[in-house]
């Protein structure tokens, strides 16, 4: 998905959707004309809208529906996004990025006290997903998109565990020092709170990803 985030992100230009019941038509359908673009839309809508809502678009007589889930930027259906909302949606999309194009089970969390239900956890979820991968933040809705990651649990077997789970967006690329395999800039340990980057404080929008402890546990998001 990483390749999709930069390629085509500006086609939407943060345009609002037109409200119509709980299924909203996509105003700008540029991305919807390719399979890769539709994959990007899938994650944008999944992150932005609540589970009861969805977005649809008709392409060459075929209706494509993109369901919401997390409700992180629900007002996108009514208006253009604010700068904060752009960063929130970017963080969510980055957290879902997979270098191997695999579907991997993750626990996505936020420190925001008013975060939607999809970002809150139960005791059972915390037990199932105890491994702290890291924090994701950035902004894809600017002229030069940026993606950052901070590192969570730094156990000796960390990289091997993440590679086995197909989660390497917080693993440094040996051919690009300081950047992960997903080309996200690694900014240090999350415990050091390195959330101000390029003069912008992303601390309100950063999202945390937790993973299963056993590297054999895989599933679908």
Tell me the pLDDT tens digit for each residue of 138-181.
999 999 999 999 999 999 999 999 999 999 999 999 999 999 99
What are the two backbone dihedrals, phi and then psi, of residue 15, each rounded to the nearest 5 degrees? -70, 140
Q: Which pLDDT value is given to residue 203? A: 96
Length of the chain: 221
pLDDT at 118 (0 to 100): 86
Q: How many C-alpha atoms does 69 have within 13 Å on its Cβ side?
A: 18
Q: Name the β-bridge partners of 143.
A: none
Q: Is the pLDDT at 74 greater than 50, yes or no?
A: yes
The tens digit of pLDDT for each residue in 90-135 reads 999 999 999 998 889 999 999 998 899 889 899 999 999 999 999 9
- In this structure, the strands spanning 54-59 and 131-139 are unpaired
| HSE, side-chain direction, 13 A CA sphere, residue 142 | 15
> What integer pLDDT is reported at residue 150 of this predicted model?
98
pTM listed for this prediction: 0.86
Q: Contact 71/50 with Cβ under 8 angstroms?
A: yes
* Residue whose pair of structure tokens reads 């690329």 in the numeric block: 173
* pLDDT reading at 9 higher than 90: no
The C-alpha atoms of residue 180 and residue 74 are separated, in whole angstroms, by 30
CA distance 82 to 89: 11
């Amino acid at each position: 998905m990483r390749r999709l985030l930069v390629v085509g992100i500006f086609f939407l230009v943060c345009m609002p959707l037109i409200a119509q019941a709980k299924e909203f038509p996509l105003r700008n359908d540029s991305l919807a004309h390719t399979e890769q673009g539709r994959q990007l839309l899938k994650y944008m809508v999944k992150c932005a809208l609540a589970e009861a809502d969805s977005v649809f678009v008709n392409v060459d007589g075929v209706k494509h529906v993109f369901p919401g889930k997390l409700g992180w930027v629900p007002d996108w259906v009514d208006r253009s996004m604010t700068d904060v909302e752009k960063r929130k949606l970017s963080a969510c999309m980055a957290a879902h990025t997979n270098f191997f194009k695999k579907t991997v089970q993750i626990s996505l969390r936020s420190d925001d006290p008013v975060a939607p239900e999809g970002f809150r956890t139960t005791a059972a979820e915390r037990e199932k997903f105890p491994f702290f991968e890291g924090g994701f933040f950035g902004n894809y809705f600017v002229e030069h998109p940026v993606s950052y990651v901070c590192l969570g649990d730094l156990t000796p077997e960390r990289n091997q565990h993440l590679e086995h789970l197909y989660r390497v967006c917080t693993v440094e690329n040996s051919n690009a020092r300081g950047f992960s395999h997903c080309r996200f800039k690694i900014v240090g340990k999350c415990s050091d709170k390195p959330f101000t980057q390029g003069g912008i404080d992303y601390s309100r929008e950063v999202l945390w990803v937790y993973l299963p402890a056993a590297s054999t546990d895989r599933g679908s998001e």
